[in-house]
Amino acid sequence: MTTLNFALIGSGSIGKMHAKHMARHIDGAKLAAIADVYADGARVCAEQHGVPRWTTDYRELLADPKIDAVMVCSATATHADIVEAAAKAGKHIFCEKPISKTLADADRALNAVQNAGVQFQIGFQRRFDPHFLRVKNAILNGEIGKPHIVHLVSRDPGPPGVGPIGLGGGIWFDMSIHDFDVARWLMACEPVSIYTQADVLIAPGLEQYGEVDVAVMVLRFENGAIVTIDNHCDSAYGYDQRVEVIGSAGAISIGNQANDNAILSNTHGLHAAKPLPYFLERYDAVYCHEVQVFVDCIRNNTPTPVGLRDARMSVIMALAARQSHAEKRVVMIG
């Protein structure tokens, strides 16, 4: 089969990482062009990774018949419009989460994808991580019996900035949304309800923008399991990513990844390396793998593993979590 030509839209931190992988490690595809509203960002990223073309207008790339697929790595507020335009242009689409911060925009974009019949994958990379997959397989294989309680921990290593955040996702759409997707994936069924306790305890002033920096959520799923999600935006010891599932026949858990797993024992105690500093280091190889899977799905005309429904349900769950916090009540998820 011929090599697929990809266009990268957005050359920020996540875009740079995808550009690195696409330029060196993805079989069956090449990065043919980069678009970013900031000319210097697009130009520098293209030069660093040997990409022959860059522009400040992604629409130029959507109009190019030689471009087969796009990777949407731009600001959160732009995702829905770009996905809709790419679908109407007949391009296959890999989109970083979330698809949108509103259900109306999400449905508009996802309906365009469905009508166009192009391949679509939303960027929930944790599903491709071997440690998370071990937990998933333990549930599938019945190793721990029927799941009763799931506890998900996601804590970022730095405080959120205080300022207008309309272009970003905030805690619900940038951080918690990964845990919502992992919960659905592990339980293999849909959530029924959610209750949120949240506050601004790290970055005073954030509340004026309708945001929080710590949150704990309790969800009930269709299979009866209770899922708790623990989010914190200023973990002093590194990027904290843990999972525990307790079932009728046992439990399984995964801890953090570090540069080494050595434990030094001396008269002062037991000492181990801190977790990896942030998501780019923790999930670098996983991001590469998820894009390779997407490319393989295009080339083999097979369904993507994280698709339209997953993109939509994650938005619904984020909206319900935010509503529960705002209204201080349990919100049913319909």
Q: Are residues 182 and 319 in the same domain?
A: yes
Q: Within a domain: residue 292?
A: no
What is the reported pLDDT for 164? 45
Residue whose tokens read 């307790």? 246
Q: Are residues 102 and 168 in the same domain?
A: no
Q: Are residues 104 and 186 in the same domain?
A: no
Q: What is the pLDDT of residues 122-144, one digit of tens each?
A: 999 999 999 999 999 999 999 99
Q: Within a domain: residue 151?
A: yes
Q: Are residues 149 and 36 in the same domain?
A: no
Residue at a domain's end among 89, 118, 147: 118
Tokens of 96: 């970083």
Q: Within a domain: residue 88?
A: yes
Residues of the chain with pLDDT under 50: 163-166
Q: Within a domain: residue 306?
A: no
Q: Are residues 108 and 139 in the same domain?
A: no
If one counts the domains in the chain, the total is 2
Q: Are residues 15 and 42 in the same domain?
A: yes
Listed residue (100, 124, 101) closest to 112, CA to CA = 100
Tell me, what CATH number does 267's domain have?
Answer: 3.30.360.10
Q: Are residues 254 and 215 in the same domain?
A: yes
Q: How many CA atoms lie within 13 Å of 330's alpha carbon, on the beta-carbon side?
A: 8
Q: What is the pLDDT of residues 222-238, one digit of tens each?
A: 999 999 999 999 999 99
Q: Are residues 111 and 148 in the same domain?
A: no
Q: Are residues 227 and 104 in the same domain?
A: no
Q: Within a domain: residue 45?
A: yes
Structural domain boundaries enclosing 270? 127-283+314-332
Q: What is the pLDDT of residues 290-319, one digit of tens each?
A: 999 999 999 999 999 999 999 999 999 999
Q: Are residues 209 and 325 in the same domain?
A: yes
Those residues whose C-beta lies under 8 Å from the C-beta of residue 98, and which sit 6 or more positions away, are 76, 79, 106, 122, 169, 173, 177, 311, 314, 315, 318
Tell me, what CATH number does 10's domain have?
Answer: 3.40.50.720
- Rounded Cα distance between 293 and 281, Å, is 20
Question: Which one-letter amino acid corresponds to residue 96?
Answer: E
Residue at a domain's end among 118, 135, 155: 118
Listed residue (75, 125, 96) closest to 241, CA to CA = 125
- Rounded Cα distance between 182 and 254, Å, is 13
Q: Are residues 97 and 141 in the same domain?
A: no
Q: Within a domain: residue 228?
A: yes
Listed residue (131, 133, 152) closest to 141, CA to CA = 133
Q: Within a domain: residue 241?
A: yes
Looking only at the bridges linking them, the beta strands covering 263-266 and 269-272 are: antiparallel
Q: Are residues 152 and 176 in the same domain?
A: yes
Q: Within a domain: residue 242?
A: yes
Q: What is the pLDDT of residues 40-55, one digit of tens each?
A: 999 999 999 999 999 9
Residue at a domain's end among 97, 118, 139: 118
- Average model confidence (pLDDT) across the chain: 95
